[in-house]
């Protein structure tokens, strides 16, 4: 049977019986009428012809040709393939600021994943994990990326037709800077703020000209390491904005104006130099008065990380406790039932161009949330296509210690690349097969299947949560679990059985890729952590207290799991963020110790 390339092309026919001989000529023809980044590939006994519009189209045609040639029947099959992308910009953003700063080897592996998925933009999300000049106090314990690292990665990406893009936050999520005596005064609220009843340190800059100049200086330091004339200034989730030093002005002119005056001042120097500048549209998209103020070259990026299916499950649940909790945090979940359509509603109504940014659903999960990732990625593509969005950015965050290993996000990133290339042809693509055969090269086709099945365990729990898996929450905050985050006993047993089955099946995997041994080891560790989390649930009473007879054994097991977590971390990431990541297990350790006292 003729092979089908990945991503699946828009048009492909094949005729068996005769194809190009091994020494048949290859003809390449430039045709400006071909869609941008597109190509037509024709093979026959007379040879192979590639028609393309540009360098990217030629690259994609040759990549498709390589996949076809790998088929033993290539010389006895003639192909006619026509293809071009749905979204001109198909990106992947990797969080390197939540403790897990990848090694060069890991970054190179991500470039392999993106190349296979035809992703043409790579963004590294940084807060404090770049070695800014004069800011050693901020990054000294983080094992940060250096200018040399970025220039190396920029060259590697360029060689694969990928734009490496600076993604540096400039307003919210600045807590590592604000925690230092030198920068503490820059905070909007120097006393910090409360979230979910927990006091948190300052994270948002006061939106002043002085602070705009400060973050511009950070950008001036890091941006020259990137050849692409595009950057992302973040500016998302300024939780304290309007609650501290800007409270009075926000009352006078409106919070949206306070926000936009600052963001525009950060945008302007780069727009004036001809850069395209992305910014997260979470605050912007809530203020109708800002819809006509987007300057040329600025790109609002609409993010939404839960699928319409999951949102419906949460909203239609018998208890509305989860919805009320999110509303207390300022998130109107009810208004987001339709996912990206609701998230981007004001921009859609005003006709403001925007990009879409779905998530890989790897964070807060241990093993990912596969069903949610697929629904979210498809929803983004549907809404983006319906509104002529030029960019699609799959995001992989690392909230709360980035416990999940990189390979948990491999499948969602491949799927995001495929549906942003051609949604109609790839929405039902067999990602498990692509993982096993094309990326991990497992002759037994086990590794990819286990990754997808492990990601489906979250749905088995029957406790739909926004932005998290119960298995992660019980390890991170066992004393704060809400009733809706606790799965039923039968669901826990079903999840444990599937996890044990995945562990058993993974023993047969023999991925031949360069990091195959790492994938098996880190996925085995993530499965063990998830299975342990199930038993942590089972050891909790109705009052949340742990069974004193089970607690000592769980405590001993936790120590062994954390030793392996350290070892797996070292295979993919630099050491700097590891202590903070492991410290996120401390509440569980303390709860188990109390039960043994």
Binning pLDDT at 50, 70 and 90, where does residue 198 land? confident
Domain that holds residue 515: 447-596
**For residue range 331-370, what is the model confidence (pLDDT) as tens digits?**
899 999 999 999 999 999 999 999 999 999 999 999 999 9
Looking at the domain assignment, is residue 438 inside a domain?
Answer: no
Cβ neighbours of 107 (radius 10 Å): 23
Residue after which a domain boundary falls, among 379, 401, 429: 429
Q: Does the pLDDT at position 197 exceed 80?
A: no
The span from the CA of 100 to the CA of 576, in Å, is: 8
Are residues 272 and 394 both part of a single domain? yes
Are residues 65 and 106 both part of a single domain? no
The span from the CA of 355 to the CA of 394, in Å, is: 11
Are residues 171 and 96 both part of a single domain? yes
Q: Does the pLDDT at position 487 exceed 90?
A: yes
Are residues 97 and 78 both part of a single domain? no
**For residue range 443-456, what is the model confidence (pLDDT) as tens digits?**
999 999 999 999 99
Tokens 């000294």 locate to 140
Are residues 55 and 110 both part of a single domain? no
**For residue range 227-280, what is the model confidence (pLDDT) as tens digits?**
999 999 999 999 999 999 999 999 999 999 999 999 999 999 999 999 999 999
pLDDT at 195: 78
Looking at the domain assignment, is residue 440 inside a domain?
Answer: no
Question: Where residue 77 sits, what CATH number does that domain have?
Answer: 3.30.379.10
Are residues 170 and 304 both part of a single domain? yes
Q: DSSP letters of 501-549?
A: HHHHHHTT----STTHHHHHHHHHHHHHHHHHHHHHHHTB-TTSPBPTT
The span from the CA of 152 to the CA of 507, in Å, is: 36
Tokens 């949206």 locate to 256
The span from the CA of 298 to the CA of 541, in Å, is: 52
Least confident of 73-87, 141-155, 322-336: 322-336
The span from the CA of 3 to the CA of 479, in Å, is: 52
The span from the CA of 376 to the CA of 380, in Å, is: 6
Are residues 114 and 219 both part of a single domain? yes
Looking at the domain assignment, is residue 439 inside a domain?
Answer: no
Q: 574 and 103 in contact (C-beta within 8 Å)?
A: yes
Looking at the domain assignment, is residue 579 inside a domain?
Answer: yes
Paired strand residues for 44? 47
Looking at the domain assignment, is residue 5 inside a domain?
Answer: no
Residue after which a domain boundary falls, among 40, 64, 83: 83
Looking at the domain assignment, is residue 6 inside a domain?
Answer: no
Are residues 36 and 53 both part of a single domain? yes
Are residues 78 and 102 both part of a single domain? no
Question: Where residue 371 sits, what CATH number does that domain have?
Answer: 3.20.20.80
Measured N-to-C along each axis, helices 370-386 and 407-421 cross at an angle, to the nearest 10 degrees, of 20
Mean pLDDT computed over every residue of the chain: 97
Q: 230 and 165 in contact (C-beta within 8 Å)?
A: yes
Q: How many domains does the chain have?
A: 3
Least confident of 12-21, 192-201, 588-597: 192-201
Are residues 414 and 475 both part of a single domain? no
Select from 86, 156, 145 the least CA-distant residue to 122: 156
Looking at the domain assignment, is residue 437 inside a domain?
Answer: no
Burial of 437 (0-12, 13-18, 19+ CB in 10 A): middle
Q: Does the pLDDT at position 1 exceed 70?
A: no
Looking at the domain assignment, is residue 138 inside a domain?
Answer: yes
In this structure, what is the dihedral angle of CA atoms 270, 275, 278, 279, given to the nearest 10 degrees?
10
Are residues 46 and 100 both part of a single domain? no
Are residues 460 and 412 both part of a single domain? no
Q: Across 366-463, where does the E strand assignment appear?
A: 391-396
Tokens 């969005």 locate to 389
Residue after which a domain boundary falls, among 60, 83, 106: 83
């Amino acid at each position: 049977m003729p092979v089908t390339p990945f991503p699946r092309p828009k048009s492909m026919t094949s005729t068996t019986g005769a194809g190009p001989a091994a020494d048949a000529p290859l003809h390449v023809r430039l045709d400006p009428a071909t869609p941008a980044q597109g190509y037509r590939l024709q093979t026959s006994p007379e040879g192979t012809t590639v028609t393309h519009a540009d360098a990217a189209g030629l690259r994609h045609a040759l990549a498709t040709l390589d996949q076809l040639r790998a088929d033993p029947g290539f010389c006895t099959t003639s192909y006619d393939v026509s293809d071009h992308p749905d979204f001109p910009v198909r990106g992947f953003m990797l969080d390197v600021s939540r403790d897990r700063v990848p090694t060069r080897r890991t970054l190179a592996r991500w470039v392999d994943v993106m190349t296979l998925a035809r992703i043409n933009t790579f963004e590294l999300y940084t807060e404090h994990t770049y070695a800014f000049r004069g800011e050693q106090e901020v990054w000294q314990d983080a094992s940060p990326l250096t200018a040399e690292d970025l220039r190396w990665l920029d060259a590697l990406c360029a060689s694969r037709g990928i734009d490496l893009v600076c993604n540096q936050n400039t307003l919210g999520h600045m807590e590592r800077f604000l925690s230092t005596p030198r920068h503490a005064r820059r905070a909007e609220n120097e006393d910090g703020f409360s979230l979910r009843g927990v006091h948190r340190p300052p994270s948002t800059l006061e939106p002043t000209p002085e602070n705009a100049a400060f973050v511009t200086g950070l950008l001036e330091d890091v941006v020259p390491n990137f050849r692409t004339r595009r950057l992302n200034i973040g500016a998302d989730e300024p939780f304290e904005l309007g609650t501290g030093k800007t409270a009075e002005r926000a009352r006078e002119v409106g919070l949206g104006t306070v926000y936009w005056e600052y963001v525009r001042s950060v945008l302007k120097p780069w727009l004036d130099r001809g850069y395209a500048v992305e910014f997260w549209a979470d605050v912007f998209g809530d203020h109708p008065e800002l819809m006509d103020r987007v300057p040329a070259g600025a790109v609002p990026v609409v993010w939404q990380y839960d699928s319409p299916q999951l949102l419906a499950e949460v909203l239609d649940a018998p208890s509305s406790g989860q919805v009320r909790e999110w509303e207390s945090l300022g998130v109107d979940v009810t208004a987001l039932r339709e996912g990206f359509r609701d998230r981007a509603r004001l921009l859609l109504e005003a006709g403001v161009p925007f990009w879409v940014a779905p998530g890989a659903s790897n964070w807060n999960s241990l093993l990912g949330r596969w069903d949610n990732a697929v629904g979210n990625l498809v929803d983004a593509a549907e809404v983006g296509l319906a509104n002529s969005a030029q960019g699609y950015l799959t995001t992989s965050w690392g909230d709360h210690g980035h416990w999940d290993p990189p390979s948990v996000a491999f499948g969602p990133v491949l799927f995001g690349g495929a549906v942003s290339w051609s949604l109609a042809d790839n929405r039902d693509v067999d990602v498990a097969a692509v993982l096993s055969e094309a990326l991990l090269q497992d002759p037994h086709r086990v590794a990819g299947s286990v990754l997808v099945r492990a990601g489906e365990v979250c749905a088995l729990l029957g406790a739909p949560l926004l932005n998290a898996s119960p298995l992660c929450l019980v390890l991170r905050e066992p004393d704060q679990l809400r009733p809706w985050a606790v799965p039923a006993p039968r669901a826990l047993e079903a999840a444990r059985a599937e996890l044990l089955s995945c562990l058993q099946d993974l023993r047969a995997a023999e991925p031949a890729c360069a990091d195959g041994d790492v994938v098996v080891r880190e996925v085995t560790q993530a499965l063990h952590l998830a299975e342990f989390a199930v038993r942590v649930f089972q050891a909790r009473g109705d009052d949340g207290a742990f069974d004193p007879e089970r607690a000592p054994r769980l405590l001993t097991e936790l120590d062994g799991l954390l030793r392996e977590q350290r070892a797996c971390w070292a295979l993919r990431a630099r050491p700097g963020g590891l202590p903070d990541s492991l410290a996120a297990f401390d509440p569980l350790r303390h709860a188990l110790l109390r039960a043994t006292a």
